[in-house]
Structure 1
Amino acid sequence: MPKINVEKIQTLTGHKDCLYTVETGPEESHFFSAGGDGIVAQWNLNNPELGSMVAKVQNSVYALHYIRTNNQLIVGHNYEGIHLIDVAQKKEIKSAKITSQAIFDIKLVGSTIISACADGEIILSDLNDLSTLAKLKLSDKSARCIAIHPSGKELAIGFSDNTIQILNSDTYQVSKKLNAHNNSVFTLQYSEDGTLLLSAGRDAHLKIWNTFNDYSLVESIVAHMYAINHVCFSPDQKYFATCSMDKSIKIWSADTFRLLKVIDKARHAGHGTSVNKLLWMTHKNQLISASDDRTLSIWDIQIDK
């Protein structure tokens, strides 16, 4: 079993409220963060103490999506809709009030923006002018997370009615509905080869689904003490990390689903409150975590095989 050594490189401060999301940036050392203060910040791991504000909105931001081809950032502004930001100029290109609800997640399929909203709607918007293409009412409970299959042919959406719905990405028709968890589904992630879907949420269970076998359940793990807020794969896809309301981050084998490392306050000077989002960077294999404690932590992950 590989030995994983973890060292906290730095704590980044500057946000004035809980941090809810982190997103990849224009270079492998760059990333974005946002949260309750409405500030969208850009950071460079080569000079991490100097964050810069890219955008500022009135309400909390739960969702960001970076478009590398255009160097643009989609910001999910709770209760006010979506904003499209030119990252280089730090300037808003356009905005649209597509909903009066909270926006929990945003993804892009082709030129279609997909927003997961607190009223159970999935809203499809045109990237070019942010016009609304369709509103899909898929649940009476919140749509919390979206994952796009690597093939681009389908997407998975997790809801607070405990289900995961699989949609065809051409027709946006529901092809399968999984009664997946005992409570809200907060996070979904496909493996790079598309064979597995990982899900987790408020019930603190991590579940692994076989996409090639009609999304059959492979494994169910009681992974944390409290709600699991996010799961993400390592750049080489050999590991994945989970983070939780129990203040910890855990690293797992993607082959065996065995727990390999626990990162917490006692052992690694980890976060003192809920850890809400993770981003495992290709830059030096560093892991970024965002927390209710208003800070970002940079973790150096060294794996001895």
Structure 2
Amino acid sequence: MKLANCCLYTLSQHDRAVSCVKFSCDGSRLASCSADKTVKLWDVSTGKLVQTLCGHTQGISDLSWSRDSRYVATASDDKTVGVWDTHQCQQVAKWTGHKSFVFCVSFNPRCNLLASGSTDETIRIWDVRTGRTLKVIPAHSNVVTAVEFSKDGTVIVSSSYDGSCRFWDTASGMCLKTLVVDSHPATSHVRFSPNSRYILASTLDSKIRLWDFFSSRICKTYAGHVNQFHAIYSCFVVMDPTHCYVVSGSEDKNIYVWDLQSRQVEQQLQGHTSAVISVSAHPKEPLLASSALDPDCSVKVWRLKNDTSI
């Protein structure tokens, strides 16, 4: 069964590279952050701009939604982590501590903790209520490119340009496991599968690898896209219980969709005019969001469907 697609919206309010797009956990909003120092919130059903959040003094690389879809956390080149109340449309916290650019950020499932990764090679775990740093983990020997909590919040996975993915015990900050490909390509992004048994790791050799967390073995490798320079996001799209796909942006301006099991490229979504840096799957509907670098600077929302006529 193949995929068909339709671009529902092209959102062009940012005037610099759009570094990240993520749907809210309830699926009603899409957030985008940019080198233009802003976060923009969009209504998913209409494609209308709802809010623009301002407060950082340099560009924003990543964002994370709280589970209740009220708060957005941001990672900025101004070395701070920001927290925004989207109901009040205001910044409610700005945390300092990282010594260099903050590159990635993630709420835990309970939203009482926040993890951030930086070009200072550390991960910080923050108490959301007080803003206090609970732990500083000397995590990697290069930029920390992604952090994410497991489904139950007990483990954090991180990736780095040092070529490794590492797993950390949330409570103690101890390293549980390190995954490395023999050729040591820089790891540009990592994320847990929905059940947290697997991780999807993107590397700068234009490959995406699906690792089994328990066995520490590579199960699948996905190729065909171009990823040699940028930290490009990848994600899972679950269409129904029997159809799951892996999606990634690409430096050739396309979006690639692979069948999870067969590893075959099912679709290339075309429409962006610059490298596609970020992709995000809607939590409930067969929707995909994407964003691109300069000079495109746009966000696109796509509807995916199984095409039974192919």
TM beyond 0.5: yes
Q: CA deviation at 1:88?
A: 1.6
Name the CA distance, whole Å, in 2 between partners of 1:273 and 1:112: 31
1:230/1:244 contact within 8 Å kept = yes
Alignment of 1:1-305 (within 5 A): 47-48=4-5, 50-56=6-12, 57-69=14-26, 71-109=28-66, 110=68, 111-212=70-171, 214-223=172-181, 225-264=184-223, 270-274=224-228, 276-283=232-239, 284-302=243-261
Q: CA deviation at 1:132?
A: 2.1
Q: CA deviation at 1:193?
A: 2.2
- Identify if the C-alpha distance between structure 1 residues 149 and 69 changes in structure 2 by more than 3 Å, giving closer, same or farther: closer
C-alpha RMSD of matched pairs (Å): 2.1
1:163/1:185 contact within 8 Å kept = yes
1:79/1:100 contact within 8 Å kept = no
Which residue identity lines up with residue 221 of structure 2 in the other structure? V
Query: TM-score, normalised on structure 2?
Result: 0.75
SS of the aligned residue for 2:111 comes to: coil
Name the CA distance, whole Å, in 1 between partners of 2:41 and 2:192: 27
Q: CA deviation at 1:287?
A: 0.8
- Identify if the C-alpha distance between structure 1 residues 70 and 189 changes in structure 2 by more than 3 Å, giving closer, same or farther: closer
Deviation above 4 Å: which 4+ runs of structure 1?
none
Fraction of identical pairs, as percent: 23
- Identify if the C-alpha distance between structure 1 residues 246 and 190 changes in structure 2 by more than 3 Å, giving closer, same or farther: same
Count of matched residue positions in the alignment of Structure 1 and Structure 2: 253
Name the CA distance, whole Å, in 2 between partners of 1:229 and 1:168: 26
Which residue identity lines up with residue 52 of structure 1 in the other structure? L
- Identify if the C-alpha distance between structure 1 residues 233 and 97 changes in structure 2 by more than 3 Å, giving closer, same or farther: same
- Identify if the C-alpha distance between structure 1 residues 195 and 135 changes in structure 2 by more than 3 Å, giving closer, same or farther: closer
Name the CA distance, whole Å, in 1 between partners of 2:127 and 2:186: 29
1:188/1:197 contact within 8 Å kept = yes
1:243/1:278 contact within 8 Å kept = yes
Name the CA distance, whole Å, in 1 between partners of 2:245 and 2:151: 19
Name the CA distance, whole Å, in 1 between partners of 2:65 and 2:193: 21
SS of the aligned residue for 1:281 comes to: strand
1:54/1:91 contact within 8 Å kept = no
1:63/1:75 contact within 8 Å kept = yes
SS of the aligned residue for 2:4 comes to: coil
Which residue identity lines up with residue 271 of structure 1 in the other structure? H
Which residue identity lines up with residue 143 of structure 2 in the other structure? S
1:54/1:87 contact within 8 Å kept = no
Q: CA deviation at 1:187?
A: 0.7
Q: Deviations over 1:271-291 (max 9, x none)?
A: 133371111122211111112
Q: Deviations over 1:222-272 (max 9, x none)?
A: 2363321111222333322100111111111121221222223xxxxx113
Name the CA distance, whole Å, in 2 between partners of 1:140 and 1:93: 33
Map of 2:278 onto structure 1 = none
Name the CA distance, whole Å, in 2 between partners of 1:148 and 1:62: 18
What stretches of structure 1 of length at least 5 have no aligned partner?
A: 1-6, 10-45, 265-269
Q: CA deviation at 1:68?
A: 4.5
